Structure 1
Amino acid sequence: MARIENLNLSQRVTNELGKAIISGHYSADSGLPTEAQLCDEYGISRTAVREAVKMLAAKGLISSRPRQGIRVESPENWNLYDTNVLKWMLESSPSLLVLKEFLQMRLAVEPQAAALAARQGDPQDIAKIGEALKAMEDAANDPDGDLHSADLSFHTAILKASGNRFFYQLRDFISTALNVSIQHTTPAKGSNKAIAEEHGRVYTAILNGDAERAKNMMVYLIDEAMAFIENEIANSSLNENVS
């Protein structure tokens, strides 16, 4: 029982320290508080603190070296594919810039995944894409429908249908960032039916085995999202300059 309590406390401390590191509150220059200070601050045992340190080290946010103790790592060493790290980054102030980088990565992966799904996708996997699209269409016609979840399912189903195990293992990473990205792009689009129709063009191309069209339709989807995000970034910069 004590072990479970320690783990839960460690996860809470990991979450709070992770956010603090990514926001810049703790940096390579400032370092982290000592174990004793963390114990006092959070009212937990050294065991729980050490568990948190291990979790943060596994995410690349900190490291422990002989005679140097615990040090905060620079951003280029963070494990950006860790869903917690990505989530904390998206919650930080420059989240739009993170989303732009994420969309650039999607452009490198998802159009190719769509092409592979069209070229060699297993019929059962392609059917899952169709089910996700049907859920999107139903949600688009229902004011209380959950378009958001169906949209996530659509994209992860394409990763699976690609048959590429490396692509599919990106599903949690892509879902985490896409979850935030959709919140920006869906309201900008203004029409859930239009969103479902655009995704439908990707599915139809995959179903017809038209790899080139599937790739191009996915590029169109992501490029459109990129335009919305870049517009928000431009507006944010303009507002900052005005203020």
Structure 2
Amino acid sequence: MARTRRNLCEQVVHDLGFRIVMGEIRVGDAIPQEWTLCEQMGVSRTVIREAIKSLAAKGLVESRAKRGTIVRPTSDWNHLDPAIIQWQAGTDDDGRNLVRLTEFRQAVEPRAAAMAAERASEQEMQQIREAWEEMDRTAGNDVEGFLAADIRFHSEIMQATGNPFFAPVANVIGASLESSLRVTNCLPSDNLSSVPLHETVLKAICDRQPQVAEGAMLSMLQDAGKRIQRAIATTAKAKSQAPMKSQTPKNRK
């Protein structure tokens, strides 16, 4: 029963969180009352209350006297929460948030690669190497497998810094990578060019070359940023041309 309630709570958190992020429930507005949410979602008040506590922990809502549960300003949201990143990805039509995530990664991951080159144990290096080998194996034939291996590669590097404050950032990078690769690497063949870039980072870490590892990681992320910008521009161009095509007059008989 507890597991069922937890699953229901996660679904309510997802539904309400996504509605808030997409702007259906706007900043400063109150979310529907408990009894209304119970009827809409077919769950108990206990589930609703647990879900609201979870949303409050993410910085999305707060309780106010005589007003109920209010959506907080976006500046108060925990933008490093993986769930919020995923919800924003679903509403990021212009790609602005994906660009911001890439900028964040460019500020953090190069230094993490340098620290990994300095501090990683032999076992941690092997884990990074195994993640790269899985990327190499799945590139060109398995988009989902490549994505999982890519996320593992970057996460293992964060862990290899030896700094526990980098560990939560690995979750952010995982969510960011998932959003990024679904924009830029939709086809298996799109992943092939990423493999040698990751290999350069791997080699620098294993050779204990911090500066080389930092530069290689930055170059790789800059390449990703350029591909994201191209994908966004292509999508925007296609959208701008769509109405023109729909207005083309049909051939007369």
- Would you say same fold, with TM above 0.5? yes
CA deviations on 1:104-136 (whole Å, 9 max, x unpaired) are 010011100111111222221111111111112
What fraction of aligned residue pairs are identical, expressed as a percent?
32
Distance 1:235 1:194 in 2: 20
Distance 2:142 2:16 in 1: 37
Q: Which amino acid aligns with 2:173?
A: I
1:188–1:228: 8 Å Cα contact kept in structure 2? no
How far is 1:22 from its partner? 0.5
Distance 2:10 2:187 in 1: 35
Distance 2:93 2:197 in 1: 29
Count of matched residue pairs: 241
SS at match of 2:30: coil
Distance 2:98 2:90 in 1: 11
Aligned partner of 1:200 in structure 2 is 199
Distance 1:241 1:78 in 2: 32
Q: Which amino acid aligns with 2:36?
A: Q
SS at match of 1:67: coil
Aligned partner of 1:119 in structure 2 is 118
Distance 1:178 1:95 in 2: 17
CA deviations on 1:136-167 (whole Å, 9 max, x unpaired) are 22223x73582222111111111111222111
Q: Which amino acid aligns with 1:180?
A: S
Distance 1:205 1:5 in 2: 47
Q: 1:67 to 1:98 in 2, by over 3 A?
A: same
Q: List runs of 5+ in structure 2 lacking aligned partners.
A: 244-253
Q: 1:213 to 1:181 in 2, by over 3 A?
A: same
CA deviations on 1:48-81 (whole Å, 9 max, x unpaired) are 2211211111111110023332111121111112
How far is 1:13 from its partner? 1.5
Distance 1:197 1:238 in 2: 31
Q: List runs of 5+ in structure 1 lacking aligned partners.
A: none
- Whether 1:143 aligns to 2:160 is no
Distance 1:106 1:69 in 2: 37
Distance 2:76 2:86 in 1: 16
Aligned partner of 2:83 in structure 1 is 84
1:205–1:211: 8 Å Cα contact kept in structure 2? yes
Q: Which amino acid aligns with 1:109?
A: V
1:189–1:195: 8 Å Cα contact kept in structure 2? no
> RMSD of the TM alignment (CA)?
2.2
Distance 1:207 1:109 in 2: 20
Q: Which amino acid aligns with 1:21?
A: I
Mapping for residues 109-188 of structure 1, pairs under 5 Å:
109-140=108-139, 143-144=141-142, 146-187=145-186
How far is 1:11 from its partner? 2.1
Aligned partner of 2:31 in structure 1 is 32
How far is 1:218 from its partner? 0.5
Q: Which amino acid aligns with 2:141?
A: P
Aligned partner of 1:62 in structure 2 is 61
Q: 1:233 to 1:204 in 2, by over 3 A?
A: same
Q: Which amino acid aligns with 2:81?
A: D
Aligned partner of 2:21 in structure 1 is 22
Distance 1:194 1:5 in 2: 43
What is the TM-score of this pair, normalised by structure 1?
0.90
